[in-house]
Structure 1
Amino acid sequence: MKFSGIDRFVKGIRSGFTLAELLVTLLILAEIFVFTIPKVLVTQRNQQYNARAKEVAGMITGAYQQLQLNGGLSAATKGKDLTPYMNFVSVDTTSFIDSLGSAAYSEVCNSSMPCLRLHGGGLLRIGVHGCYCEVTFWGTSTTNYIGFQFDPDGLALGGTNKDVIEFDLFYNGRLTTRGATSGWIQSSGMATSSTAPDFDPAWFSW
């Protein structure tokens, strides 16, 4: 059976989509994009932050090992004593980074607790959770530590948008996050035996 030109034309129309069907399809696709793209972007950002944080953790541990090999480790060792063994762009003493925990304010990088501007744009603040001075290990036991706060984007967002994580370097070389640290003594001599999981951002995992 042969089809005339008109029959083929009508058949072609009937096998296509109507304008209403196309609009409904586009609307569905738009809703999918609205709900999935932000989640994908957040997931990618979190993965990037986590990778940067792990690099910083490795850098801190490596600097500690080099300092120890060079005979520079003591109770009086400052966080700044590790900086010659770290890879960074510049020292920053004027910027702000996010605070830890529930505090909705930012903390300043200064000469006592300077920040290192890293190649990925993040800021590493040296010497925290102790006196506002040149923080040291304060002792040589396994519970003495120096804290390092890392802000992966180098922006002080404050409020609930904080993304900073703290790494605690103990005198024996053990490195933990602030949320996992237990039984430690602060550089100022204050002691605690509890952990604070909420101090670790949701994007971080070992």
Structure 2
Amino acid sequence: MHSTLKRDKPPSFGFTLAELLISLAILGLIATFTIPKVLSSTQNSANVAKVKEAAATLAAAYQQAKLDGSINSNSDVSDLSPYLNYLAWDTSGTLIDHVQGSTSQACNTTYPCAKLANGTTILFNAPSQFGGTATTNMLNFFVDPEPGYSGTTNPVRAVQMVLYYDGFITSRAFARPNSYTSLGGPYGPGSFDPPWFSW
């Protein structure tokens, strides 16, 4: 007599179609929330780097002008412009983006703009002068890291920078107390930068 041995069914490996579809749906949901944040973070990092590069350009121009004896209490942007490394000077009415706590600004003869090689636009308050030699006397600039005008107030894309007579440069949130400017009133405590910008 032959006995028939019952063989166990070999184990199966893999996933069912339903399991795969559920997994793909979960991954798609995660990607929907994650990818925009990653892209936004990457763009913000690039913009922060551009603003810092513009600040370094302004600081270098100031130091060179000071070495050449071109800086005094009545100095304004015209004393810095020969020392700036820029691609083009714009007074044609081009708009730059909103500044935190303010509105968009137009490049014109009163507020001329310098376009840098990295795509950043710097808007100058041409009539503004240091007005003295104290550590609170300053010039101010709007730095827009993205070329063109987005037409929205949020996200704010321009940073207001201040350059002091002693050569210190920073953004509005870190301005020295009791600093004054014709663009936006007193600086110091209570001033702020766009939420995406940090030193």
Same fold (TM over 0.5): yes
Equivalent residue number for residue 136 of structure 1: 129
1:185: how far off?
Answer: 2.8
Paired amino acid for 1:168: V
1:141-160 alignment to 2 at 5 Å?
141-157=134-150, 158-160=152-154
Q: CA deviation at 1:33?
A: 0.9
Structure 1 residue aligned with 2:41: 43
In the alignment, structure 1 residue 116 sits paired with structure 2 residue 109? no
Q: Which runs of 5+ in 2 are unaligned?
A: 1-6
Superposition deviation, residue 156 in structure 1? 2.5
Tell me, yes or no, if structure 1 residue 163 matches structure 2 residue 162: no
Q: Which residue of 1 aligns with 2:56?
A: 58
3-state SS in 2 of match to 1:161: coil
Check conservation: 2:98, 2:153, Cα contact below 8 A. Answer: no
* 1:186 equivalent among 153, 156, 181: 181
CA RMSD, Structure 1 to Structure 2 (Å) = 2.2
Tell whether the 8 Å contact from 2:100 to 2:194 is kept in structure 1 after alignment.
Answer: no
Partner Cα distance (2:146, 2:135) in 1: 32
Q: How many residues align?
A: 189
Match of 2:4 in 1: none
CA distance in 2, matches of 1:187, 1:72: 22
Distance 1:34 1:193 in 2: 40
Q: Give structure 1 stretches of 5+ with no counterpart.
A: 1-6, 128-132
Task: Please give the alpha-carbon distance, in whole angstroms, between the structure 2 residues aligned to 1:168 and 1:177.
Answer: 6
TM-score, normalised via structure 2 length: 0.85
Give the Å deviation of 1:23.
Answer: 0.6
Shift of 1:102: 3.1
Q: Runs (4+) of structure 1 moved beyond 3 Å?
A: 190-194
**What is the CA distance between 1:160 and its match in structure 2?**
2.0
Tell whether the 8 Å contact from 1:156 to 1:162 is kept in structure 2 after alignment: no
Checking the alignment, whether the CA contact within 8 Å between 2:54 and 2:120 is kept in structure 1 is: no
Alpha carbons of structure 1 residues 65 and 187: separation in structure 2 relative to 1, 3 Å: farther
- On the 8 A contact 2:140/2:160 being kept in 1, the answer is yes
Counterpart residue number, 2:28:
30
- Partner letter of residue 185 of structure 1? Y
The CA distance in 1 between the partners of 2:76 and 2:187, in whole Å, is: 23
Task: Flag the 1:155–1:46 CA change in 2: closer, same or farther, 3 A.
Answer: same
